[in-house]
Chain A
Amino acid sequence: MPTLPTTRHDNNQLPVTQQIVSVMWPSFLTASVATIIFFTLFDPTELAMIGGFPNLTRTGGYTIGFFCFWLLTSVSCALTCYFRRPTNLRKPDEAPPQS
């Protein structure tokens, strides 16, 4: 099995479950706050009217709104997680640079 190129800093990478938690959880928190603020200002039924879904109930609107926010925030968290990885990749069998 080919080994993925890795870096010294990869030691600081969290295990996968924790990476998932660290993406999903902060995004959940911020999405909740965003949902509350957004829907205090806008009535979901009115938005649904504009958007062309006249049959959507308020509860449905809140739910969809919340998950849209969550999707957005989790994408941004996932990108942070991804870009956090250092770019100075080095082959695993190379000696670590002396510092």
Chain B
Amino acid sequence: MSQTAAKDNQAPIEQELYKKREKIYPREVHGVFAALRLLAMAALLGFYYGMPWINWDDRQAILFDLPARKFYIFGLTFWPQDFFYLSMLLIIAAFSLFLFTALAGRLWCGYACPQTVWTEIYMWIERKIEGGSRKQKKRDQGPRDASFFRIKLAKHSAWLLFSLWTGLTFVGYFTPIRELWGSGLTWNLGPWETFWIFFYGFATYGNAGFMREQVCIYMCPYARFQSVMFDHDTLIISYDEQRGDPRGSRKRGTPSSSVGLGDCIDCGLCVQVCPVGIDIRDGLQYQCIGCAACIDVCDDIMDKMGYPRGLVKYTTENALQGKPTKTIRPRLLVYVSVLTFVSAALVYALWTRIPLEVDILRDRNVLYTETDEGLVQNVYNLKIINMDDQLHRYSLSVSGLEGLRVIGQTEDIEIVSGAVADLPLRVEIDPFALKSTSSEIMFHIESTVTPEIAIEERARFLGPVMR
């Protein structure tokens, strides 16, 4: 890219994109929101690393058993055929996100997003090994001596070990984690498992160790489109300009009015703690992940100065303009009603779910055959899946046309829990009973143990028309 071209007509925002990224050394914060963040981090990471170890009914409570194409979620077993439930879950997730964002803004980003949570733990490790942000920065700008490399080596080893554990846990959601650790410790992992452990581990290492705020700024689709879900009543983090400006330093305990300044002492701490490297006093910016670190640190300063807290605080656009904040808004009601409806439908669908599934495949090679007795035969292949967690015996019947007869096993079709039975069947009929070349017939399958477990499946019966 040439210099000349770069010079003309360059908006400041473009310049920012050109700037080489400088590493941000956010200062450590203590306070109410820092404690909340820590709590959320502990709970979420605890869940992530602990959940695969919890068992339910002799098997892992949450296991997306990809090799067997079965998903276990506590007592429930899902199959690829249950895709419908997954899509409902996705709708629920999407609307929860809309609702949550409209209400609470970027609360998710600041406290619960995996990117934030993992970055936080990687920073914690970094601080434990490298020391505080000032020390880190000094070391990075200092000489590349033995101690520099020793400390960097220690940090990266710790990070890598943690990443490996993360990757192993991730794969543990897809292959039973106990077996995985067993084979991992004896160097017996399958090639694909090994690959995914390293892939996920490496992604975590890169995202939480190096990319950090850049993931939020450049890669996160949510960060980009959330502005459309915001309104004037959405919870945001903001600096109170009316109260803070004009800014300026002063002695501790000096009332602002006596020096003709606002309450901001221009200490710059809110900028130093910011993990994305912005100044909250410049107004709401889309880089802000709403982590509230600046609130904590500024409240601390206000306490020290003897000023009331909340120069930087959670507020809403309306509140900032002195208008009342409306929590209940039409769009929220829409979100809530959609959510209630879909959730109720999902619960109902799960409640009435019949753990039996049948796929009927017609023999594609022959349309129909005629027997010596002059009857027409169609060949079907039934795949019956017992999705219940106990053994069932099923009986089968066919209806839809006068005089249909099934040749093959129709009684005592025994299928153990979770198994698929292949059942080849022939159905025959007197061709004079056929009214068209393609008629609809119905297969009924019913469990003899629990008659409520019964399904019907449509199929086509082909034959000649005799007139």
Contact = CB atoms under 8 A, between A and B. Distances in A.
Given A15-B18, A40-B80, A62 B4 contact: no
Contact of B2 (A6, A14, A39, A63): A6
Give the size category of A's interface with B. 20 to 34
Contacts of B219: 21, 25
Contact of B67 (A4, A15, A59, A96): A59
B46 to A, nearest CB: 26
Contacts of B4: 92-93
Given A21-B218, A21-B219, A92 B69 contact: no
B1 A13 contact: yes
A10 B80 contact: no
Contacts of A18: 17, 218
B5 A8 contact: yes
Nearest to A12: B14
Interface stretch (B189-197, B372-380, B429-437): B189-197
A63 B192 contact: yes
Interface string B79-103: 0100100100000000000000000
Interface residues of B, number: 29
B8 interface: yes
A57 B192 contact: yes
B200 to A, nearest CB: 12
A47 to B, nearest CB: 13
B221 interface: yes
Given A6-B2, A18-B218, A41-B80, A96 B196 contact: no
Nearest to A41: B80
- Most chain A CB within 10 A, of B9, B18, B66, B174, is at B66
Nearest to B20: A15
A11 interface: yes
Interface of A: 3-4, 6-8, 10-15, 18, 21-22, 25, 29, 39-41, 43, 57-60, 62-63, 92-93, 96
28 contacts: A6-B1, A7-B5, A8-B5, A8-B9, A10-B1, A10-B5, A11-B9, A13-B1, A14-B17, A15-B18, A18-B218, A21-B219, A22-B218, A39-B80, A40-B80, A43-B80, A57-B67, A57-B190, A59-B66, A59-B67, A59-B175, A59-B190, A59-B193, A63-B196, A92-B2, A92-B4, A92-B5, A96-B9
Interface of B: 1-2, 4-6, 8-10, 14, 17-18, 66-69, 80, 83, 86, 174-175, 190-193, 195-196, 218-219, 221
Give the top 9 A-B pairs by smallest Cβ distance, nearest first. A92-B2, A59-B192, A40-B80, A6-B5, A58-B67, A40-B83, A3-B2, A25-B219, A92-B4
